[in-house]
Structure 1
Amino acid sequence: MTAPLVTILDDEPEIRSILADALEDAGFRTMGFSRATEFEATLKSTTPDVCLVDLGLPDKDGLTLVHRLALELGSAVIIISGRAQVQDRVTGLELGADDYIIKPFDPAEVVARVRARLRKDRPAAPTSSNTARFNGWTAYFDRYVLEDEEGTETTFSHAEGEVLRLFLESPKRLISRAHMQETLGGAAGESFDRAMDVRISRLRTKLREDPKNPRLIKTIYGAGYIFLGDVRWG
């Protein structure tokens, strides 16, 4: 099973090291960045499960970055900042952050918050199986991997996996945006809708769907989505 990936964006090497040590000891994978430009370049090929973001970045406004991540990435975003004013926390959360931790922090608390966020994001499953087969694909939710008929594997993120699992558990049934929001959590509105659009777009790419005429994940405009595959669990 591939451990969840946590990215750490902070310009202080000591803080990156402390967080990485605590998270890796707890079983997570980590990647650390000192500048937003490096972090954003990595996002073109990597989708983290949780992003830890400091607001005081040397090359970009942290709040602007948080807002973009919330809209486009589909990962959980936790701000870690020395800004302790109530208004800073409110602004960060309103812009799409999932949590806000004030410096100085206890590394154990950060680990606990990351775990809590991942638990909250994971939908309750009516089946205990972590393997689903559909239309020539096999999804391994314990390893975050999609495998085609030839055995070629493609990884997916925790965020993408929760959407895929929701589809696979309710095939050939309309899944409304409201149901997705209620099941997956998060505040309704533009931020949630954009996050879902990004996750579904990435899933279609990984399933090699034609974006103009997808076979499996169909958009029902104004209503939601329908997954048209034949699904077998176990």
Structure 2
Amino acid sequence: MAETIDLYYWPTPNGWKVSIALEELGLPYNVVPVNIGAGDQFEPEFLRISPNNKMPAIVDPEGPDGEPISVFESGAILLYLAEKTGKLFPNEPRKKYEAMQWLMFQMGGVGPMLGQAHHFRQYAPETIPYAVDRYTNEAARLYGVMDRHLAGNEYFAGDEYTIVDIAVYGWVVPHENQGQDLDDFPNLKRWFDAVSARPAVQKGVKVGEELRQNINELDEESRNRLFGNKPSGS
């Protein structure tokens, strides 16, 4: 029986990537909350696992050589879990790189740009019209890229559900907060509904839902921590 993986986690789109993948793969895991509003991501113990002070991260007591291994960055974690199990990622070289390019598209574009759209539309302390327009329009462009691709593909890697779909999914969940309407992207909407119906996805997005915080209830220092600034005096 596989040993239990420690998942350093908070319920966000990036956190959901790993909780969903673990549910899909049926791997045992233990959630270690990383309260990004309280500044847990800056604690020395966590920085030894994730030096970029970002969650999620994992510690697998049964690494590739049988020894414990820690992995940070959500895309790297997904690739690690897929390789560990031999599931959710193509093995045939051409299909593997077709999937890889869409995973990099998510990591380099979808996550950062949709995150900025969400931030400036929902969380910024003041409305900056240029930033709102810039990132809302970029989000729409990326949604269009995904919609065109999915016009001829069931999933991002063709007809095979993979970690790429898991990586993208969490960032499409809050599409309304990014200023997007899925009815404008019918192929993406078809894909989103299909992924949403998967039992492991439903379980994965519920992990730690009791931990979620209302941004409007956070004080200024907690907001600074949440958005990547070190606590005052640190």
Give the structure-2-normalised TM-score.
0.30
Give the structure-1-normalised TM-score.
0.30
Q: Which has the higher contact order (CA 8 A, sep 6+)?
A: 2
Structure 1 or 2: larger strand share?
1
